[in-house]
């Protein structure tokens, strides 16, 4: 007997038949003798409809009311799934955030989880009841409904798994695991059997959409063994209920991964814009003068590269922002021009960022050099580079994204069966 | 300064523009200096969608889960209306049943209100805040969401008006008041200025759809002055904010109605079926033998007429049921035939019930005789009659419904201006 948290996203519960299918996944685990909590998102499209109404009424709406409106989507799914489970003989009940309670801070619209009291859930587990939990929502100190922001249901699931000390948190989604790279970009991409929390965190941050960054952070902190697996497979296909070795990708502590590869995956993000400030006067506080106003305007600055100019008193600063924020960023910088002091501003909206990720880089030299050579051999120009202990990110022209991803995927041997 | 509860039904909040219009109605009362609570239904169509999903998953679904699913509709509207109010400068917040709290009994799906704590609402009124309350829902003793059954938002509104000691409860709907009869049936129908609780109760019970029976009962018990008025008129048209004399129909204590008419209105219900049991042995307990099994099958028996047969040892019993329940009723009676003991069962699905309602009947003789003569003059055959202190109900062939309604409307002078 184990305790499992299962999470199903919007497409997995997108209509009544899919909810029935989810119920069969849950029944499989219950029949195997496990205690189960299920965390559900809103039916796909519902959240967007609700958000659309709130925005139509007022672009600057009260986040507390927004939460009240939007959290209803998960409420509906939780009740429907409980009904579906009962109809196939599984003892189940729905739980809203305020009933558990799942307490958050007061940041309505993007709340952080403060505390989860798992005692009521555990009491019901021991009575053989499945908890069907509305994801994405909690209760704020003002006794009002709060939501966790985009992708919040993943975060709910991992947090609940930590609170009830679950043996595993299964994230069911529309892909069947985490791949060495996006299979739509490189058909030779392979599904990873295991990936470390740190690597997954980089992948999620760097453009892999399979899991939200916050949920991976939380899983890493609380050491929640998290599986990414498909909700669209037949719930009763052979091996689906294999406790030790289910189909999908396990995200776990790196110590669990015996045969660590040097490079685990290639991520990319296509919507990058590059901004360069030429001949910025090189004095203390100049970086704060540039990036302070951008942060205040809620613009996410990513790669930052600074080159010292020939005479040492000026510098060139290059950085990237999401393409959608380019116009706003240029506007902010233009207004701050006098305060910053620079000669010229250049920008290019046609950039992409390709990243090589692997925990093995820590102990292997030459990983970066291999990437640079491989790209050079394909005549792909490198615009900027940033590195961390376990990843290398390279800015290139967007037109070369696919070529770069495939080249890097091949040069590190990721297309070969392990 | 007064305290007003305003209730808006599903068609009144059916889309974003209508929600904006409702906000203008509320703002008018706030600008006039009143303290306001608004009770809202789900956007029209939403409840049916949610109910449809629950039924599709399981015809015999858990009423607690059904409540969780269905109550989300009112939750959405409450948040959206709060946003709409804030966007036009009105201080407002949404309230769910569990936040007030509006406590109900444990009868999920058709709960009765047990207790409303109005103190938090009153505290906010005194701070100048409008309460936007999700109708139809409360919280049951198990800390789970409950719903009040069909038309529950009217009941919520009246109950909240009683709890916060409101001066008035305005029910905004898609008609502009209570009429002497259905204007689609008789174009000469006139809007009533005032109608007593007792009369409204009869009208609602007898087929007038404008208000739910339960809400009228509650208004009568707590003496809540209730206005029925239109949500589709221009919120700022002249007279709309007239506190003493707003457009619409006031439902109030009969003592408030100085010039009481003998007959106030004509109601009808077209979906009646008649069942007659011939030569039932006339012994104690035979009525219980007939109506007990029908009640257990949840069939609402309405008019009951019993005639003593010629020799005194047998009797004929005639009664009506809703047309939709006829087949089920016949089935129940057939199974109980031996226990009841009757010769023959006859039925006719083509019946209608026409009712004459008026508190003045109490002190006026001959009201019934006038009806019978008027119908006889038009060759309308009377199948059954039941009377109460303030109403006469007459069962006729459905084909004559319109003629009977118009005839009775005229004979009591209801088509003449008062």
Report how far residue B394's alpha carbon sits from residue B383's, in angstroms, rounded to the nearest whole number. Answer: 7
Kindly determine whether residue B20 and residue A57, on different chains, have CB atoms separated by under 8 Å. Answer: yes
Q: Per-residue pLDDT tens for A331-363?
A: 999 999 988 888 899 999 999 999 999 988 888
Mean pLDDT of chain A: 92
Residue of chain B with shortest Cα separation from A63 = B83
Q: How many Å separate Cα B317 from the centre of its chain?
A: 29
Is the pLDDT reported for residue B198 higher than 70?
yes
Check whether B208 has a pLDDT greater than 90.
Answer: no
Selecting from B57, B68, B73 the residue whose C-beta is nearest the C-beta of A87 gives B57
- Please check the confidence at residue B161 and state whether its pLDDT lies above 70: yes
- The answer, for A100 touching chain B at a CB cutoff of 8 Å, is no
Write out chain A residues lying below 8 Å of B87, CB-based.
57-58, 61
**What pLDDT is stored for residue A363 in this prediction?**
82
In the predicted model, what is the mean pLDDT of residues B186-197? 93
User: Among A12-21, A22-31, A129-138, B259-268, which is the least confidently predicted range?
Assistant: B259-268
Please give the pLDDT value at position A207. Answer: 63
pLDDT score for B129: 98
Give me the mean pLDDT over the A276-292 stretch.
85
Choose the closest CB to A87 out of B58, B64, B145. B58
The pLDDT tens digits for A192-249 are 999 999 999 988 877 667 788 889 999 999 999 999 999 988 999 999 999 888 999 9
The contacts found for A59-64 with CB under 8 angstroms, 24 or more apart, are: A61/B83, A61/B86, A61/B87, A62/B82, A62/B83, A62/B86, A62/B93, A63/A108, A63/A109, A64/A108, A64/A140, A64/A142, A64/A144, A64/A145, A64/B93
Q: How far is B157 from chain A (nearest CA, A)?
A: 20
Please judge whether A79 and B69 are an interchain contact, meaning their C-beta atoms are less than 8 angstroms apart: yes
Choice among A173-177, A346-350, B112-116 with the minimum mean pLDDT: A173-177
Contacts of the segment B200-203: beta carbons below 8 A, 24+ positions apart:
B200/B251, B202/B267, B202/B355, B202/B357, B202/B388, B202/B390, B202/B391, B203/B178, B203/B265, B203/B267, B203/B357
Suggest the residue from A48, A80, A101, A129 to mutate for an interface test with chain B (most B CBs closer than 10 A). Answer: A80
Please tell me which of the candidates A62, A83, A144 has its beta carbon nearest to residue B54: A83
Among B45, B66, B80, most A C-beta atoms within 10 A, so best to mutate, is: B80
Q: What ipTM does this complex have?
A: 0.84
pLDDT for B408 equals 96
Q: Which of B292, B288, B291, B210 is nearest to B251 (CA)?
A: B210
**Residues in chain B closer than 8 A to A72 (CB atoms):** 72-73, 75-76
Residue of A nearest to B57 (CA): A84
Q: Which residue of B has its CA nearest to A15?
A: B53
Write down all domains in chain B, each with its CATH number in brackets.
3-255 (3.40.1160.10), 265-411 (3.30.2130.10)
Q: What is the pLDDT of residue B285?
A: 78
């Amino acid at each position: 007997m184990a305790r499992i948290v299962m999470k199903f996203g919007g497409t997995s519960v997108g209509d009544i038949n899919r909810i029935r299918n989810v119920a069969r996944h849950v029944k499989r685990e219950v029949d195997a003798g496990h205690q189960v909590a299920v965390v559900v998102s809103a039916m796909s499209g519902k959240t967007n409809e609700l958000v659309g109404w709130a925005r139509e009424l007022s672009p600057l709406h009260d986040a507390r009311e927004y939460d009240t409106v939007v959290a209803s989507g998960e409420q509906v799914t939780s009740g429907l799934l409980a009904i579906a489970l009962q109809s196939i003989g599984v003892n189940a009940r729905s739980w809203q955030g305020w009933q558990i309670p799942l307490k958050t801070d007061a940041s309505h619209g993007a709340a952080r989880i403060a505390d989860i009291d798992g005692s009521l859930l555990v009491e019901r587990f021991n009575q053989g009841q499945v908890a069907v939990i509305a994801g994405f929502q909690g209760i704020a100190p003002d006794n009002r409904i709060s939501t966790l922001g985009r992708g919040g249901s993943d975060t709910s699931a991992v947090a609940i798994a930590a609170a009830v000390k679950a043996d595993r948190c299964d994230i069911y989604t529309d892909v069947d695991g985490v791949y060495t790279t996006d299979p739509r970009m490189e058909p030779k991409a392979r599904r990873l059997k295991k990936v470390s929390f740190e690597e997954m965190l980089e992948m999620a941050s760097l453009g892999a959409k399979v899991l939200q960054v916050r949920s991976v952070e939380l899983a890493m902190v609380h050491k929640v063994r998290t599986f990414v697996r498909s909700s669209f497979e037949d719930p009763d296909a052979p091996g689906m209920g294999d406790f030790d070795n289910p189909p999908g990708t396990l995200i776990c502590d790196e110590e669990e991964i015996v045969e660590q590869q040097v490079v685990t995956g290639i991520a990319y993000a296509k919507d990058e814009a590059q901004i360069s400030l030429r001949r910025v006067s090189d004095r203390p506080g100049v970086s704060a003068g540039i990036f302070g106003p951008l942060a205040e305007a809620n613009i996410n600055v990513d790669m930052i590269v600074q080159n010292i100019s020939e005479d040492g008193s000026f510098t060139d600063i290059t950085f990237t922002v999401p393409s959608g924020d380019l116009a706003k960023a240029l506007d902010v910088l233009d207004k701050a021009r006098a305060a910053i002091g620079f000669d010229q501003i250049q920008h290019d909206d046609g950039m992409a960022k390709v990243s090589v990720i692997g925990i093995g880089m820590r102990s292997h030299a030459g990983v970066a050099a291999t990437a640079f050579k491989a790209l050079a051999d394909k005549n792909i120009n490198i615009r900027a580079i940033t590195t961390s202990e376990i990843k290398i990110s390279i800015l290139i022209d967007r037109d070369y994204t696919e070529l770069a991803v495939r080249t890097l995927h091949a040069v590190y041997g990721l297309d070969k069966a392990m």
